[in-house]
Amino acid sequence: MFLVGLASILPWHLPRLVAFIRGGWGVIGLLVALLSCGVVLPGGVMTQGPGFFAPVVDGLGLLLPLGLIGLMATDRRDLAACAGAACAVMGGPVISCMGAGWVLLARGGSVRPAPDMLGLLLLASVSACPDRGVNLLPALCWVGTRGLLGLSFSPRVASRGLRAFRMADMAGLIAGMALWLHLLAGERMPDIRWGAFLIIAGCLFYGMASWRALCAADARRVMTGLVGGTGALVVVIAGLMVLARADDLPAMAVCATRTLMLVAGSTLVWAFMARTVDVMEREAGPSVLLRLGGLGMLMPRLSGLFAMGLLAESGLPPLLVFFVIWMLAHLLAAMPRAGGLAGDLPLLLALGALGAG
């Protein structure tokens, strides 16, 4: 993994280097799949300084979709973003923030990620001293992962308000999930009120992302809005995990972790869709699409049906949103009833937002 990541970030232009890097990511995904199936691989144990390589046990599964995303990536920026996401998954709290920052820089774009980088810097400094400022961690994690997960309350769908979707956005989604897992794996947890706040905020993010996806003018920005909805699900699940840890409900925490892994697996759908759009742009010609205003202007009915079909189809079994709603319903049934309707309100809001989206 170290060699593949190093080859991804160095500015080399050797022949067939991109093919070598893509093959390396495919091998990484295959090894993680074998480990997930219980296969014991040969090798020793690497020891490093405290907190340098400290992956969350539940987060190692994120390397499987990341390896497949790296296998399908064709641009050097996308491969460099995959290397940063691998650091976010495998590293300790500080190294994870550094890897997430590298993903933000590798994605590029016209919008400078200064607020996100500042949030990651503060998150790394607070994570290095877990005994202090534990209640600040959710706010800092939200600021740091805002750009990675596509979280925004803005309904704007213009070119400056909604960037075009690239494969590096999938790596950013994996890095954001890794940061939230590092936050929730600590010994000390934030106040239980943060759980309800994260669930409500995630529902609002989900609704705005669905609106941006429906109003976007071209296929790539439609996909950006839909991926923002996936990032909002990460925030909702993080709020559920905070509630489970605060109320000492291990079954609910395990269920929320499995739901997060299911959301991580959905990134493969977006990766295949990105490759499909790449082929469409290559066949039609980027200059023609630019002159006509994008796929939304070239094929407005097809783009609208494409967005509506994805939103409707994803709620049917056996696809992602159906399973997320199903697991949220199980979480609602597993919660204690001492709080009455007020205690169940966060989960009811989550179910309502997912149904409306």
CB of 180 closer than 8 Å to CB of 236: no
pLDDT digit string (tens) for the chain, length 357 residues:
555 655 555 555 665 777 777 888 788 778 877 777 777 666 555 544 445 566 666 677 888 888 888 888 877 788 888 888 888 888 877 888 888 888 888 876 655 677 788 888 888 877 777 666 677 788 888 888 888 888 888 776 655 556 777 888 888 899 989 888 888 776 667 777 888 888 888 888 888 887 777 777 677 777 888 888 888 888 888 888 888 777 777 777 777 777 788 788 777 777 777 777 777 777 666 555 555 455 555 566 665 666 565 555 555 555 555 656 666 666 656 555 545 555 556 556 655 655 555
Residue 78 lies in a domain: no
What are the phi and psi torsion angles at 267 (to 5°)? -60, -25
Q: Rounded to 5 degrees, what angle do the CA atoms 60, 62, 65 make?
A: 135
Kindly list the distances between the CA atom of residue 161 and the CA atoms of 114, 155, 156, 215, 343, in Å, as whole numbers in the listed order.
16, 8, 5, 12, 36
Residue 257 lies in a domain: yes
Residue 205 lies in a domain: yes
Residue 7 lies in a domain: no
- Cβ neighbours, 10 Å, residue 12: 11
Residue 333 lies in a domain: yes
Residue 24 lies in a domain: no
Peptide bond before residue 318 is cis, with ω within 30 degrees of 0: yes
**What is the number of structural domains in the chain?**
1
CB of 335 closer than 8 Å to CB of 249: yes
CB of 82 closer than 8 Å to CB of 171: yes
Give me the helix-helix angle, 93-107 and 168-184, nearest 10°.
Answer: 160
Residue 244 lies in a domain: yes
Euclidean distance between CA atoms 204 and 321, whole angstroms: 16
Sign of CA dihedral 160, 177, 205, 143: negative
Query: How much is the pLDDT for 87?
Result: 85
The tokens for 283 are 């066949």
Query: How much is the pLDDT for 118?
Result: 84
Q: Which burial class, exposed, middle or buried, applies to 91 when counting CB atoms under 10 A from its CB (0-12, 13-18, 19+)?
A: buried
Kindly list the distances between the CA atom of residue 333 and the CA atoms of 236, 295, 323, 337, in Å, as whole numbers in the listed order.
17, 44, 15, 9
Query: How much is the pLDDT for 109?
Result: 60
Residue 223 lies in a domain: yes
CB of 89 closer than 8 Å to CB of 66: yes
The tokens for 4 are 């593949």
Euclidean distance between CA atoms 250 and 254, whole angstroms: 6
CB of 150 closer than 8 Å to CB of 224: yes
Is 0.75 surpassed by the pTM of this model? Answer: yes
Query: How much is the pLDDT for 338?
Result: 47
- Cβ neighbours, 10 Å, residue 48: 11
For residue 235, the enclosing domain spans 115-356
Q: Greatest CA separation found in the chain?
A: 65
